Amino acid sequence: MINKEIITHSFEDLQEAICTELNILDGVSAFKKDTWYRREGGGGVSAIIESGNLIEKGGVNFSAVWGPTPGHIREQFQYEGDRFYATGVSIVLHPSNPYVPIIHMNIRYFELDEHIWWFGGGIDLTPHYIDLQEAGLFHARLKAVCDQHQAANYQKFKTWADDYFFIKHRAETRGVGGIFFDRLSQPGEKEVIFDFVRNLGQSFVPLYKEIANRKRSMPFSERERQWQFLRRGRYVEFNLVLDRGTKFGLETNGRTESILMSLPPMATWKYDYQPQKDSPEWHTLQSLKKNIDWAHA
Amino acid sequence: MINKEIITHSFEDLQEAICTELNILDGVSAFKKDTWYRREGGGGVSAIIESGNLIEKGGVNFSAVWGPTPGHIREQFQYEGDRFYATGVSIVLHPSNPYVPIIHMNIRYFELDEHIWWFGGGIDLTPHYIDLQEAGLFHARLKAVCDQHQAANYQKFKTWADDYFFIKHRAETRGVGGIFFDRLSQPGEKEVIFDFVRNLGQSFVPLYKEIANRKRSMPFSERERQWQFLRRGRYVEFNLVLDRGTKFGLETNGRTESILMSLPPMATWKYDYQPQKDSPEWHTLQSLKKNIDWAHA
């Protein structure tokens, strides 16, 4: 029988495997690991890479935290539950080359009072320059993973990502989306759902490798770099204003440096910046919209 | 009799006067003004300066907005009130020289259903490098303004600023604080409170001029600049995660580019960065605490 210990160990192993493979993919810098403990129960391991060849700043975090459920978190869950258990793996990678997209993945498992449980997760791609072929490839690969599992529904999860990774105050999507799901739970189906979640986690490196290797050697100039900094500013806005995981972490007294590993190495803000009409930057802005069928765009 | 029209016009005049004087103080770049309108009622004028001699990026915003009170704003106010009116002036200036502090000021007036009203406001200083003389001067000047008005209480407002400008998830104050006040209201005292608020607004330029001129010509190197970028990252965290004005603006469908003028031109994040013990950066971190009597430190 599947239980939280098995899930937790599987997430730990996944972090380890992803770091090992990303170390090889980066080729220069290596992940630095910090173990931390939470006073109220649990802790985690943060694996951070900075100033790499491919990755300018990134993190692959594992955590397993538990304890009394804070009041405001209870409200958010809309479940009663005196004690919670949460474990997950979170990844954010900011590449140095502006032609390589930012990638994010998170998979997580929650338990309340040992009898209410659910899985959640998501993966999304934030190109500084949108490339239809790349976005199509990304979505096709995610659809293929979903299609292998009864527990997953690509169309539903793709729409969910469009809604979740949306910067309301900018009326822009964060990037080309991906899939997002939460509260996946069905009596007797824990193993089936876990299979999907684990499979998604295992598909991260092959997928990122395919995408990063297409463009990591493309030459770029100061212009593309400046645009990358501006788009990273939007990434900061999403994570600090809207991201539920970030809020949950900061509100449950998580480790701030681990939670905020998602922030980019450098970001800029220019007042009311508008790229020139028909420029590549302008075309990217035009495509930051919901409901684009990227798999067939 | 004082009323919302008089207060609104006074705030408009104040914005104009401050921009004129800051243009002279900067000496190179000038404020660019944009007028905007809000669909539900009202609008504002954003005055933005970028790439100045003293000011790398800054804004002096005026707005007056009104309309039906949004439900979640009602809860926040803890008052019933079908229609709200809000007007104010907000300033944030990010200097290019890391030895010159970031400064922020806001003064505002609220009305609900034309009979409930209050003033709020605050001013605080965020040095990249804390200088006791500068912090002492800043607080002494604010105390002098407060001491001229029955409606103001420096001690109370200083403590309020310590609590408000506190980055909980970092356990750090944003800078050396200043004063903060909200819900100032007393039957028959509207004029008296307004006198204080207006006087605080008028004291902004002389105070900033005195502080900026002390250090704007100090030479600095890449090291100080790098530290400035990291401290600006904290400023971003405060504004996007905690600042009530930013939240209010984004939630009431305000103009995003005006609200986010407070964000710095460039900011960086380094994982778990710790300055060397006894360095100037380390000393600054040690002093980012509440309850320091800066006026006598």
Q: Which of B62, B60, B37, B35 is nearest to B48 (CA)?
A: B60
Where b means 16+ CB within 10 Å and e means fewer, B75-106 reads eeeeeebeebbbbbbbbbbbbbbbbbbbbbbb
pLDDT score, position B77: 67
> Considering just the CA atoms, what is the radius of gyration of chain A in Å?
19
How many of the other CB atoms lie within 10 Å of CB of A33?
14
B34 contacts A272? CB cut-off 8 A: yes
Residue in chain A closest to B58 (alpha carbons) equals A271
Coil vs helix vs strand at A69: coil
Q: Which residue has the tokens 């004690």?
A: A83
Q: Looking at the partner chain, which of B48, B256, B268 has a beta carbon nearest the beta carbon of A266?
A: B268
pLDDT score, position A249: 86
Pairing label, strands A266-268, A55-68: unpaired
What residues in A contact B261, CB-CB < 8 Å? 271
Minimal C-alpha gap between A151 and chain B (Å): 35
A233 contacts B237? CB cut-off 8 A: no
> What's CA A266's distance to the chain center, in Å?
19
Look up the ipTM and state it: 0.95
A73 and B CB contact within 8 Å? no
pLDDT score, position B177: 98
What residues in B contact A34, CB-CB < 8 Å? 272
Check the CA dihedral A286-A290-A294-A297 and report its sign: negative
pLDDT score, position A77: 66
pLDDT score, position A248: 83
The answer for B 142-201 residues in CB contact with A (under 8 A) is 168-170
Counting as low any pLDDT under 70, the low residues of chain A are: 73, 76-80
A266 contacts B267? CB cut-off 8 A: yes
B170 contacts A271? CB cut-off 8 A: no
B240 contacts A260? CB cut-off 8 A: no
Task: Give the Cα separation of A117 and A64 in Å (integer).
Answer: 14
Q: Looking at the partner chain, which of B256, B263, B267 has a beta carbon nearest the beta carbon of A169?
A: B256
Counting as low any pLDDT under 70, the low residues of chain B are: 73, 76-80
Q: Looking at the partner chain, which of B170, B267, B268 has a beta carbon nearest the beta carbon of A256?
A: B170
- Contact present, B270 and B230 (Cβ < 8 Å): yes
Residue in chain B closest to A259 (alpha carbons) equals B169
Q: Looking at the partner chain, which of B34, B169, B263 has a beta carbon nearest the beta carbon of A250?
A: B169
Residue in chain A closest to B48 (alpha carbons) equals A271
Which residues of B belong to the active site?
Answer: 104
A242 and B CB contact within 8 Å? no
Q: Looking at the partner chain, which of B34, B240, B261 has a beta carbon nearest the beta carbon of A237?
A: B240
B119: Cβ contacts below 8 Å, ≥ 6 apart: B107, B108, B109, B110, B181, B184, B185, B193, B194, B197
What residues in B contact A233, CB-CB < 8 Å? 263
Substitution target from B92, B272, B273 for chain A, most A beta carbons within 10 A: B272
Residue in chain A closest to B34 (alpha carbons) equals A272
pLDDT score, position B78: 67
Task: Give the Cα separation of A139 and A141 in Å (integer).
Answer: 5
Task: Give the Cα separation of A243 and A44 in Å (integer).
Answer: 20
